[in-house]
Amino acid sequence: MSTESHRPSFLQRYIFSTDHKVIGIQFLFTSLFMLLFGGLLAMLIRWQLGWPGHPLAFMEKIAPEGMPGGIMVPEYYNMLFTMHGSIMIFFAIIPLLVGVFGNYLIPLKIGAGDMAFPRLNMISYWMMPPAIAIVCAGFFLQGGAAAAGWTAYAPLSTTLGPGQVCWIVAIIVLGTSSIMGAVNYVTTIINLRAPGMSFFRLPLSIWALFITAIMVLLATPVLASALILLLLDCTAGTSFFLPAGLIIDGIAQHNSGGQVLLWQHLFWFYSHPAVYIMILPAMGIASEILPVFSRKPLFGYHSMVYAIIGIAGLGFLVWAHHMFASGMNPTLGTSFMISTMIIAVPSAIKTFNWLGTLWRGSIRLTTPMLHALGFVSMFVIGGLTGIFAAATPVDLYIHDTYFIVGHLHYVLFGGSLFGIFAGITFWFPKMFGRMLNETLGKLHFALTFAFFNAVMFPMFILGIAGMPRRIYDYTQYAHLAHVGGLNRMMSVAAFCLLASQLLFIINFFWSLFRGKPAGDNPWQANTLEWATSSPPPHGNFTVTPTVYRGPYEYSVPGHAKDWLPQHDPLPSPGGH
């Protein structure tokens, strides 16, 4: 590597760096900031749901049009949940899981010096800030930012103002960034593995990121094309999604021949795989952390790999389960119900194997382990509640109610976000060379876990009571007159949930400068990233490591230590 030949300038080193570790950390700071922003939007949503129509005085200065006198208007509410969903999914969770962990971990864990295409990698990060600028520009435009839901269903999305156009353009830019990242991950994993690192010696997190990258490559171009069609419908007068005879605001439109449901099919053809793009890497992280802190090999390595491949394959065949009530042919409903039931099987296999990993382990409840266990226990709820939505007749009732909002938050917060917290707390010592504070970390986990459940679990009950989602003022409905108390309780818990994140922020920045020095391998783990210094030098390894065994050889009988690193040349008794 070129560290000896020339000293890179500050700009080359930290801003326009082609080092995968710097790019991963850039993604980390950017997407954590967006996570906080998305969380703040959620607080405004919870304010309106807890106390409909009550003024929030300071908001008048921030959003004089959206909250005149501090009282929220319906358009502003629609914008809030649209932007909350879009920012969390496209600008926080996907970049955190794929951008951060994909970039940071892949070369280190396969024993490579960097990505296959470092410059492409840098560009993939540098498309994110412009995308953020474009999507947020909507807040300052006439009519505000996008307000058609994160699903942007046509024709509604084509009737809204310039904020919606910004949203479409930003997602296209971000999709391009994802595609560039994915090309890089796939190429790197196939070509740059260290000697001895066969596919079935890859750590589960790398398997998960590999399959995720393939899903991104197959699904994201479909979203990009659909968005371009929607953009044309919005701006160029085309009719891809607009049928003849529309009368909008009393004005007859001149469209003809478009299909409204086509948008939904194309959108969900991307967005259902996207759900797995948001959960597979978190599953990989959990599969990585559970063996380390159980001091035990991962239970059923091969079935875990096949389950990931199964989920990814089936993930492309379930998209229309979002459309059971859409007016699509009911026979299609049956086939998508069946494929959705089938996809529950590999998810169950993964859960049981995680339990199998804990069985007869020697469990250490460190902060990353607690988050990984939080992931397993909450993902179970997310998965099981999905079965209600898969049962087509039940979905006719719970579709578009708070039941679905609860379900998706158990998958994306309980699942993805606990996985993200597990990953950040686990690899923080490697990224920054210092340990996080364990007491603060555990307190953060405990409060997050408790308040998360207090906000999200009652959503199932609201959904069962028939409360529709995306409703600015549910007190309009007589049949929802009695849900105010529960909603207020949830709102208080949501504010506490956000406040608890202060502990994480304090811990993060304090430890960045004052944390205990980590050493190379603070968790006594086996995979290759722990074989180099913390943080690793440019080029990662001074000598390319050779891999002798699988990644989870813990508590090997007859071995003095209870871990046996992948690059340790000792003969492996009974390992694979």
Partner 1 sequence: MLTVVLRLAAAVTVWLAAAAAAWADATPGVRIWLPEAITTTAPEIDRLFYCVLVITGIAFVLVEATLLVFLIRYRARPGRSATYTHGNSLVEIIWTVLPACLLLVLALRSQRVWARVRGTPPTPQLEVEITAEQFAWNIRYAGADGTFNTADDITTVNQLHLPVQKTVLIRLKSKDVIHSFFVPQFRMKQDAVPGLTTHVWISATKTGHYEIACAELCGLGHYRMRGYLTIETSEAFQAWLAQTLAEQQT
Looking only at residues 379 through 398 of this chain, which bind partner 1 when binding is defined by CB under 8 A? 380-381, 384-385, 387-388, 390-394, 396-397
Q: Which of 562, 39, 569, 489 has the alpha carbon at shortest distance from 293?
A: 562
With binding defined as CB under 8 A, does residue 54 bind partner 1?
A: no
Q: Does 243 bind partner 1 (CB under 8 A)?
A: yes
**78-to-75, 150, 189, 191 alpha-carbon distances in Å:** 5, 10, 42, 46
Smallest gap from Cβ 158 to partner 1, in A, equals: 9
CB-wise, 57 or 244, nearer to partner 1? Answer: 244
Neighbouring CB atoms inside 10 A of 230's CB total 27
Identify residues 415-444 at the interface with partner 1 (CB under 8 A).
442
Give the sign of the dihedral formed by CA 325, CA 328, CA 334, CA 340. Answer: negative
Segment interacting with partner 1, rule: CB under 8 A, options 86-94, 274-282, 300-308, 412-420: 300-308
Indicate whether 576 belongs to the interface with partner 1 (CB under 8 A).
yes
State which of residues 199, 502, 562, 570 lies at the interface with partner 1 (CB under 8 A): 562
Give me the least distance between CB of 218 and partner 1, in Å please.
26
Is residue 254 a contact residue for partner 1 (CB under 8 A)? no
- The SS3 call for residue 34 is helix
CA triplet 554, 277, 534: central angle to 5 degrees? 45
Q: For the chain, what's the residue count? A: 576
Specify whether the CB–CB gap between 364 and 303 falls below 8 A: no
Listed ranges 176-184, 212-220, 341-349, 425-433: which one lies at the site for partner 1 (CB under 8 A)? 341-349
Report 95-124 residues binding partner 1 (CB under 8 A).
none
> Among residues 124 and 353, whose Cβ is nearest to partner 1?
353
| Whether residue 203 has a cis bond before it, omega within 30° of 0 | no
If one asks whether residue 359 binds partner 1 (CB under 8 A), the answer comes out as yes
Contact flag: residue 449 with partner 1 (CB under 8 A): yes
How many residues of this chain bind partner 1 (CB under 8 A)?
Answer: 122
**With binding defined as CB under 8 A, does residue 556 bind partner 1?**
yes
Mask: binding to partner 1, 303-332, rule CB under 8 A, as x and -? x---------------------xxx--x--
Q: What is the DSSP annotation of 453-469?
A: HHHHHHHHHHHHTT-BS
Which of residues 140, 199, 477, 509 is near partner 1 by CB under 8 A? 477
For the CB of residue 497, give the shortest distance to partner 1 in the complex, in Å.
Answer: 11
Interaction pattern, residues 395-414, with partner 1; x per rule: CB under 8 A = -xx-xxx-------------
From the list 247, 543, 560, 569, which residue makes contact with partner 1 (rule: CB under 8 A)?
Answer: 247
Binding status of residue 570 toward partner 1 by CB under 8 A: no
450 touching partner 1, by CB under 8 A: yes
| 290: nearest Cα among 273, 306, 304 | 304
Return the residue of 36, 232, 440, 446 that touches partner 1, per CB under 8 A.
446
Nearest CA-CA partner of 187 in 126, 121, 123, 101 = 121
Query: Does residue 461 belong to the site contacting partner 1 (CB under 8 A)?
Result: yes
Burial class (CB in 10 A: 0-12, 13-18, 19+), 423: buried
Alpha-carbon distance of 24 to 492, in angstroms, equals 35
Subset of residues 499 to 528 that bind partner 1, contact rule: CB under 8 A? none
The residue among 7 and 482 lying less far from partner 1, judged by its C-beta, is 482
Q: Give, as ranges, the residues between 265 and 294 that touch partner 1 (CB under 8 A).
A: 294
Identify the bridge partners of residue 184 per DSSP, sorted by sequence position: none
Binding residues for partner 1 restricted to 149-168, rule: CB under 8 A: 149, 153, 155-156, 159
Instruction: State the Cα–Cα distance between residues 171 and 145, nearest whole angstrom.
Output: 13
Q: How distant, in Å, are the alpha carbons of 41, 57, 81, 226, 491 from that of 484?
A: 21, 22, 19, 39, 10
Q: Could you tell me which residues come within 8 angstroms of residue 58 by beta carbon, excluding any fewer than 6 positions away?
A: 70
d(CA 193, CA 337): 40
Binding residue (CB under 8 A) for partner 1 from 489, 520, 533, 572 = 489
The distance in angstroms from the start CA to the end CA of the chain is: 32
Q: Which stretch binds partner 1 (CB under 8 A): 125-133, 180-188, 409-417, 553-561?
A: 553-561
In the set 246, 308, 436, 531, which binds partner 1 (CB under 8 A)?
Answer: 246
Q: d(Cα 488, Cα 165) in Å, to the nearest integer?
A: 35
